Homo-oligomer: A and B are copies of this chain.
Amino acid sequence: MNDVNSQSKSKLVFPVLKNDRFIRALLRQPVDTTPVWMMRQAGRYLPEYKATRRQAGDFLSLCKNTELACEVTLQPLRRFALDAAILFSDILTVPDAMGLGLYFEEGEGPKFRKTVRTEADITALPKIDPNDSLDYVMRAVTAIRSALGGSVPLIGFSGSPWTLATYMVEGGSSREFRHTKEMLYRSPELLHALLDKLAVAVTDYLNAQILAGAQVVQIFDSWGGALAHREYVEFSLNYMKKIISGLIREQDGHRVPVIVFTKGGGQWIPQMIDSGADALGLDWTTSLADARQIAAGQVSLQGNLDPNTLYGSPAQIRKSVAAMLADAYAQDSSQTGYVANLGHGITQWVDPTHAGVFVDAVHELSQPYFK
């Protein structure tokens, strides 16, 4: 069944990509200007998103409705000159497909009906076939890729094993990660067993997205920054490495770049350089100038404006973008290997016109670096 799907997916034919600036920057190839996209660019700051979401009913129904997921993915691209689209979905689809029962309560984070805390819980987690239980994601990927018509590349994504594990063990969001940390320090072998299962599932999931049409994949390690420095390598980075080594890296004759984004991971760039990722996402706490020096052209970097910068005036936003670009290109005479982005998802309280100021400022203010 998996083989048949894979074969049929591999026969998908999509329009030729016109704007490949984002992919070229990820692969450290020359570009004409700085590519830019925004994490959570299809989101609640857009009135048209809120309207579509109301139409879908709730967030998960929106993710599972191919037509509407495609629609919200395209909405920010109609407003802004973004250089990439990102699949509209959630980082927690994999544990949901494993039967944990993902749900959202208004005003609170995601929750699971079941938690995973014992050896029996981990053993009971089924192996998932992404073309079966996550078929709605693959349908959305293919529909979006087709609808994009080659205008910009499509990013697929997943949560990292560590990040997924925190939600599965805690049963939702957490500040202290009490139960996950208890497992880590008390029964590390249990946590490793869970992370192993998740690494396999995420590898299959991302490969299915690539076969369905994703041209770039990003691994969101949203809670990697909660780990101690040694534990980050052992419990998060090593599993992302394992995933990356199992990914389809070329599809239809094109390299499929991989981005790893560990929020709060700015101190660990030296450890992440060897992850196999083409690019590392950075949050706003990290100096991009320092990061570029440490990365030394071995990986591309993506980021990292504080999303709250967009609360400021257009003039202040442009000033912040100018400073970010100056940092990005201070160390690198080749002027590539950099993708502008926010350091985390855009918030629901941002004025959409300010998001447009950000995107335009990146394109305009980066011009002098490409003369």
Contacts and interface: CB of A to CB of B under 8 A. Distances in A.
Contacts of A313: 186
Interface in A282-299: 284-287, 290
Interface string A217-246: 000000001011111100000000000000
Contacts of A175: 175
Given A267-B266, A347-B176, A228 B185 contact: no
Interface of chain A, main secondary structure: helix
Nearest to A229: B287
A312 B185 CA distance: 5
A286 B308 CA distance: 25
Given A267-B267, A308-B177, A229 B182 contact: no
A281 interface: no
A364 to B, nearest CB: 20
Contacts of A343: 228
Interface residues of A, number: 37
Interface string A302-318: 00011011111100100
A228 B285 contact: yes
B308 A185 contact: yes
Nearest to A308: B181
B228 A306 contact: yes
A290 B269 CA distance: 13
B284 A316 contact: no
A285 B225 contact: yes
Interface string A172-192: 000111100110111000000
A14 interface: no
A349 interface: yes
A323 interface: yes
Interface string A325-352: 0000000000000000001000101000
Contacts of A130: none
Given A176-B347, A266-B267, A287-B267, A184 B308 contact: yes
Contacts of A228: 284-285, 305-306, 309, 343
Nearest to A270: B290
Nearest to A182: B311
Interface string A76-90: 000000000000000
A264 interface: yes
Given A184-B308, A229-B284, A230-B323, 17 more contacts: A175-B175, A176-B347, A182-B308, A185-B306, A185-B308, A186-B313, A227-B285, A228-B284, A228-B285, A228-B309, A228-B343, A229-B286, A232-B285, A264-B264, A267-B285, A267-B286, A267-B287
Task: Give 7 nearest A-B pairs by CB, closest first.
Answer: A181-B308, A185-B312, A228-B284, A228-B306, A185-B311, A182-B311, A229-B287
